[in-house]
């Protein structure tokens, strides 16, 4: 089985037991740094694409927290994640949101400059470098000039964490756990350089899990 198929199977199994829920829009509040940036997207952008959306909750939060979004599309290769996102959106009355079970090839079906906002959370750093480069190029094509990109990345792995998590290096800066790619490990500065057509507006952190370093949040603007 190829690395891509292993990853899709892993995430599909992880999301298998996620039960759809009804979200009351009025009860969604800014509770942490990630929410603050999701609100910025929702307040600033009319059309938003979430790349590798998983359960789609970032896009939902942007819709609930902001007041400008008119259309949001999320896509992910995990059918179970998309099923959760579709059913939760339906139960919650999020008519502005659409979720599609597709891999990165979905980006090729989108018109250039068709979105003024984009979210990508913990996706580009769990896929191979070559594939992420292709996706970054497509993201840049699809985003309008002056459009905003909210990028969230896993924490940078040092040697101690790699050893503690029992990760295996399978390629340069690329690590797997139990045979599944779990980290394309770059510093924040290295990630920023991968977006040459963007300016960095803000940089922050987000405590995703106790006893682990902060995830990294980057708010970028396309030139």
Dihedral sign, Cα of residue 12, residue 178, residue 119, residue 65: positive
| Total domain count, the chain | 1
* Domain assignment of residue 97, yes or no: yes
* Domain assignment of residue 197, yes or no: yes
* Domain assignment of residue 141, yes or no: yes
CATH number of the domain where residue 18 is located: 3.40.50.150
Angle between the N-to-C axes of helices 3-14 and 79-92, in degrees from 0 to 180, rounded to the nearest 10? 40
Q: Which domain holds residue 121?
A: 3-156+187-222
**pTM for the complete prediction?**
0.96
pLDDT at 77: 95
pLDDT at 220: 98
For residue 176, give Cα distances in angstroms to 50, 96, 97, 168, 201. Answer: 25, 37, 33, 5, 32
pLDDT at 146: 98
pLDDT at 142: 98
* Domain assignment of residue 38, yes or no: yes
Task: Give phi and psi for 22, each to the nearest 5.
Answer: -95, 125
pLDDT averaged over 10-residue windows placed end to end, the chain, 223 residues = 82 89 96 98 98 97 98 97 97 98 97 98 96 97 98 95 93 94 96 98 94 94 98
* Domain assignment of residue 172, yes or no: no
* Domain assignment of residue 175, yes or no: no
pLDDT at 134: 97
pLDDT at 169: 95
* Domain assignment of residue 179, yes or no: no
* Domain assignment of residue 125, yes or no: yes
pLDDT at 123: 97
């Amino acid at each position: 089985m190829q690395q891509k198929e292993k990853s899709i199977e892993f995430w599909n199994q992880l999301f298998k037991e996620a039960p759809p829920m009804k979200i009351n829009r009025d009860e969604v509040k800014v509770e942490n740094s990630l929410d603050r940036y999701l609100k910025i997207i929702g307040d600033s952008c009319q059309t938003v694409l979430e790349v590798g959306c998983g359960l789609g909750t970032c896009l939902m939060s942007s819709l609930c927290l902001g007041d400008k979004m008119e259309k949001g599309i999320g896509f992910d290769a995990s059918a179970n994640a998309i099923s959760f996102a579709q059913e939760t959106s339906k139960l919650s009355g999020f008519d502005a949101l659409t979720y599609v079970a597709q891999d990165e090839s979905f980006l090729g079906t989108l018109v250039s400059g068709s979105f003024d906002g984009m979210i990508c959370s913990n996706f580009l750093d769990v896929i191979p470098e070559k594939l992420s480069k292709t996706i970054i190029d497509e993201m840049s094509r699809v985003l309008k000039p002056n459009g905003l990109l909210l990028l969230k990345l896993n924490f940078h792995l040092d040697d101690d964490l790699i050893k503690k998590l029992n990760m295996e290096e399978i390629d340069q800066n690329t690590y797997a756990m139990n045979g599944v790619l779990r980290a394309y490990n770059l510093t924040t500065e290295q990630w920023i350089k991968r977006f040459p057509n963007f300016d960095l507006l803000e940089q922050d952190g987000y405590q995703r899990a106790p006893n682990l370093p902060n995830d990294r949040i980057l708010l970028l603007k396309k030139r």
